[in-house]
Amino acid sequence: MKIAPKLSFTACLNRQAEAGFHAQSVEQVVDGMTFSKALKSARPETDRSFSSARSNPASDALLFNLIDKLPKSLAGMTWSAIKRWVSHGDGTPEPLKDKQGADFRVGTQVPLKMEPLMESLGSTMNEFTPHIGAEHVWTKDAKSYQGLGFWSRVGSAIKGERPFPFPTFGGSKLICALGLGATSVVMPTGQEKPLRDWMLQQKRGSVELHQLFGQAYKLNEGDLYSTLLCAENVLSEGIYDPNRQDREVISKLSYLRSDSAPMSDNFGGWYHLFGAALYSLMRPDWKSRVCLKVEDMGSFILEGKDPQEDHINQLGRQLGIELKKIAREGLKPGSQLKPYLNLEEFGWDRKDRSLVVTQPGVPSNGNLRT
């Protein structure tokens, strides 16, 4: 059998997200192998996890092999960022400015109002009792390869059998997969396909936050961990694709950010919100604050400043806190759908993106159309 060529970290994830790509089950590929042999056999170029098991050595081996591909790709992204900083400073890159037009403005206000958002989400949660399910965790063998076993990975790298390993410093499987943008490949819930199929049946630009959450919640029968992870897995596919904004699933989403026109990174807005909420749901608030600070700094270095992404990260943290509270105390009775988009800064219809007037500073009393 012909072996697929080795690919970079970003190329592996891009290939996994291609419409015509058919991945092999990593569980089948490494079935019956020791963990050390699985590390040599699980290939991110061709394999992905299809099991929703929360403890999965095959998935662990695949994730380690993705992690160890990161340094080379990260070096390339950092070098590109340095060149952009030298040319343009911390602002929006010039090609993006040209694409967006001279009148485009990134908003400064928070794009979502948390209180009506939570009531709207609550209105979708009546069919099942909200609870926090089991988290994906490293197996015992995988944990050993974060400790002394790390040097075994170093030895394999010296022999030329694998890239030089990237230390994970004992990080959880959740933070490692989220940080890489690889949860869809290594941590499936088993409900991604029906959620994706539902999204593809919707009209372009029509899917609102409460609708996506509600559908994922229903599919995962009230498990808030699986709800957020399932949505994150579908939203983050193609994360390193330069044309990720044009992916069919993303085209179904309403515009989440507060900008003067729907021309910025809506893909990033949606997956950042669900990713931050997921981590905040599962960790103490101080940990989520620290991780988001690190993420904000990384995005600032690699992409330039974006106050909307910063706002969305913090909204995700608050969303995780509120959902954790719901799991603990239960739903408030009588929750109803309420307007939760902040339209005070730019008052255009977020669901009718193709018809919006590209003009900053418009009033919020009505939808602007050409």
- pLDDT of the chain, 370 residues: tens digit per residue: 456 678 999 999 999 999 899 999 999 999 999 999 999 999 999 999 999 999 999 999 999 999 999 876 665 555 454 545 455 555 554 444 545 556 789 999 999 999 999 999 999 999 999 999 999 999 999 998 887 677 777 777 777 777 777 777 778 999 999 999 999 999 999 999 999 999 999 999 999 999 999 999 999 999 999 999 999 999 999 999 989 999 999 999 999 999 999 989 999 999 999 999 999 999 999 988 888 877 766 665 556 678 999 999 999 999 999 999 999 999 989 999 999 999 999 999 898 665 554 444 443 333 332 2
**Domain ranges, ordered by start, for the chain:** 9-72+138-171, 90-134+192-355
CA atoms within 13 A on the CB side of 76: 9
Q: Do β-strands 24-25 and 47-48 pair in parallel, antiparallel, or remain unpaired?
A: parallel
Predicted local confidence at residue 259, as pLDDT: 95
Q: Per-residue pLDDT tens for 245-263?
A: 999 999 999 999 999 999 8
Cβ count within 10 A of residue 259: 25
pTM of this prediction?
Answer: 0.88
Predicted local confidence at residue 112, as pLDDT: 98
Cβ count within 10 A of residue 128: 13
Three-state secondary-structure class, residue 297: helix
Helical segments of the chain, H only: 9-16, 26-29, 35-41, 57-67, 70-88, 94-100, 114-122, 140-144, 149-158, 173-180, 183-186, 192-200, 209-219, 224-235, 248-251, 266-282, 285-303, 307-329
As given in the structure block, the two tokens for residue 33 are 């192998």
Using CB atoms within 10 Å of the CB of residue 191, give its burial: 0 to 12 exposed, 13 to 18 middle, 19+ buried.
buried
**Alpha carbon distance 132, 323 (integer Å):** 9
Using CB atoms within 10 Å of the CB of residue 256, give its burial: 0 to 12 exposed, 13 to 18 middle, 19+ buried.
buried
**Alpha carbon distance 78, 70 (integer Å):** 12
Predicted local confidence at residue 160, as pLDDT: 75
CB-based contacts of 46, cutoff 8 Å, min separation 6? 4, 23, 24
Predicted local confidence at residue 364, as pLDDT: 37
- DSSP annotation of 202 reads S
**Look-up of token digits 């806190």:** 321
